[in-house]
Amino acid sequence: MSHWYPKKGRVIFHIDMNCFYASVEMAYNPKLKGKPLAIAGNPEERKGIIVTSSYEARARGVKTTMTLWQARKLCPTLIIMRPNFDRYRMASQEMFKMLAEITPFVQPVSIDEGYMDITECEQLGNPIRIAENLQKRIKDELDLPCSIGIAPNKFLAKMASDMKKPMGITILRKRDLPQKLWPLPVGDMYGVGEKTARKLNAIDVKTIGDLASRDVYHLKQVLGINGERLRNRANGIDPRPVDPEAVNEFKSIGSSQTLPEDTTDEVDIQKLMEQLASNVERRMNRKQAAGLGVQLMIRYHDRKTITRSKKLQSYIEKKEDILRVANELFQKHWNLEPIRLLGITVQDVEEKQNIAHQLDLFTYEEEARKEKLYTAIEELTNKYGKNPFKQMENQGQNDQPRTSFQKDFLDDYKR
C-alpha cells in the first residue's frame, strides 16, 4: 500500500459531476433519461441561452451558451427546462457530505466539483478502491454520475477528471505526463483560455508538451508571471494544498447575467442593472459584508469584454449605493454597441464585524433610522421567503433565473 501513499507526496481527488444540472433533472424525473435535455435561462425566449445539456443533446451538437433557436435547429426533439437552483444546491450539498465522510480535507470549488486530499486515508484502502466506492455511492444514493481524477496535486487531478466522462476514474502521475498530458492541445489545459491559447500558438506553443519545454523567460515576456505558473503546471508542479476554508475567503461578491438578446435598449439594460444590484445586495447581506469598490463588466455582441471599476471612500452594501456607482461606470464607459452580458461586482469585501465604521452624527442618525426598516423587511423576508415589499413591485415581471452560481453556499454541507 505504501506505493499508493508516498511519505512525502499527496494523493488528491478531483470530483467532477457529469452534466450536473441535466443529471439532477433526470434523477428527479427518470422519464428524461436517455433523451436530449437542455437547461436554459428562459425557455420562452427564442434567443434564450443554453446553460448546460445532457450527453444525448451534446452528441447532436448542442453546446453551452448556444441560443435556443440554434439548439432546436440542431436537435428538433430537444427538451428544454428552466434551472431549478434549489434542487441543484440540495444535490450538491448531499454530494459534498459524502466526500466529507471520507476526509475532512474537502475543498468545494463550484456547485458541481471539488477536491479531496486522501493522503491520510490509507486505512480505507487504495485510492482506486476509495474512488470506486465513492463514485458508486453517489450514483446509487443520488442517481448522479461523476468522474474522478486521482493525482499527486490539484492541477493534475483536475486534468485527469476531464479525461474520461461520464463515470470515469483516471490516474495521472508525473511519470504519465509524456504519454497522457503533453500530446494534448495547449488550449485543453486547465487555466488556459482562448486568449492565452492564441498567444501561445503565436509563439509556436501548440501542445502542453511545447509549453512544458519552453524557456521561462520567453513565456514571461508573453504572459507575465502567469507564463511561469502555466509552465510549472504543464510539468506537473502545483504546490497548492486542498484548503477546506478557501470557500470562506472572499474578496468580491458579484452577479452577472446574459441578456435574452443583444440590445442597446436602455430600459432593458437598466432593469437588468437593478436586478444585478439586488442580487449582490442579497449576497452581501448573507455574508454580513460590505465593500470598498464596484466593478462593472460589459460583454458586447462580438464577445469583446471590458471591466471598469471604482474605488470608494466608505463601505457600501445596499442596492441603491451599488446601483448608483455601477450606473456611473456604465454611462462613462458604454460605447453604445449592443450588449450581450452585464455583471456587477462589489470588491474589497470585508465582513462587517471586521470593519471599524466611523460615523459622524448625521450618518449615524440616518443609518439608525433606516436600520429598523431593514430589520423589519429582513424578518418578513425570512418568514415568507421573499421580500414582501418587492412582490407588488415585481408583479407581472419575468423572474428570470440566473445562469451562474455564487460560491457563498458551498460550505452549507457542513451544517
Q: Torsion angle, CA of 406/409/410/411, rounded to 10 degrees?
A: 150
Q: How far apart are CA 173 and CA 178, in angstroms?
A: 10
Q: Report yes or no: 156 and 235 within 8 Å, Cβ to Cβ.
A: no
Any residues with CB less than 8 A from the CB of 290 and at least 6 apart, and which?
284, 315, 316, 317, 346, 349, 350, 352, 355
**Is 16 annotated for ligand binding?**
yes
For residue 122, how many C-alpha atoms fall within 13 Å in the half-sphere facing its CB? 10
Catalytic option among 25, 56, 113, 281? 113
Q: How far apart are CA 110 and CA 45, in angstroms?
A: 27
Within 11-97, strands assigned E span 12-17, 37-40, 50-53, 79-81
Beta-bridge mates of residue 375: none
Nearest residue to 20 (alpha-carbon basis) of 52, 63, 58: 52
Q: Torsion angle, CA of 73/75/78/84, rounded to 10 degrees?
A: -80
Looking at 224-360, list the stretches that DSSP marks H as alpha helix, in order from N- to C-terminal side: 225-234, 266-286, 319-333
- Per-residue cell: 146: 461523476
- Per-residue cell: 202: 503565436
Q: How far apart are CA 316 and CA 289, in angstroms?
A: 9
**Is 112 annotated for ligand binding?**
yes
Q: Is the dihedral of CA 91, 95, 96, 101 positive or negative?
A: positive
Exposure class string for 345-354: b at 16+ Cβ within 10 A, else e: bbbebeeeee
Active site residue 393: no
Which of the residues are catalytic?
Answer: 113
Annotated binding-site members for Mg(2+): 16, 112
Annotated binding-site members: 16, 112
